[in-house]
Amino acid sequence: MPPVIETILVLCAIVAVGLVGLIATMLTPELMTAWGLMALFAGLATGMPAGVWYHVLLYRILARGTMPVPDRWWVSPTDFHPRLAPEELARIKPWFVLGGIGFLMSVAGGMLALAGLLLTARS
């Protein structure tokens, strides 16, 4: 990596810390709770259907294969990704990613809402 990239990364980190500090002073507990709940519900609204469709597609692909679908395959479905052909993986990948993004949004939103509620209860 060129040294310029390291300098840019350090400057971005400094700006990010400053922005987090600025936002923390502007964000009220009620606003934190509202934004957190919106992110939580948006994450659930996108992540749940995408995750279900990902599992449906993966099951259909595995069921077409030569070996039977193992019991409890859904517990760790990513174990089957290396067995898939590139076109099959390309078919399920968008749903996998969208479900993961929805999951992360719902977790982050829940944490933000919980923090807002705790701050409201404390004051």
Read off the pTM: 0.74
Q: Is residue 101 one of the residues assigned to a domain?
A: yes
pLDDT at 26: 82
pLDDT surpassing 80 at residue 2: no
Note whether 42 and 109 are within 8 A (CB): yes
Q: State how many domains the chain has.
A: 1
Q: Is residue 24 one of the residues assigned to a domain?
A: no
Q: Is residue 21 one of the residues assigned to a domain?
A: no
Q: Which domain holds residue 116?
A: 29-122
Dist CA 6 CA 28 (whole Å): 35
Q: Is residue 85 one of the residues assigned to a domain?
A: yes
Dist CA 85 CA 68 (whole Å): 17
Q: Is residue 116 one of the residues assigned to a domain?
A: yes
Q: What is the pLDDT of residues 5-44, one digit of tens each?
A: 888 889 999 998 988 788 778 888 899 899 999 999 999 9
Q: Is residue 78 one of the residues assigned to a domain?
A: yes
DSSP state of 1: -
Q: Is residue 63 one of the residues assigned to a domain?
A: yes
Token couple for 58: 């993966």
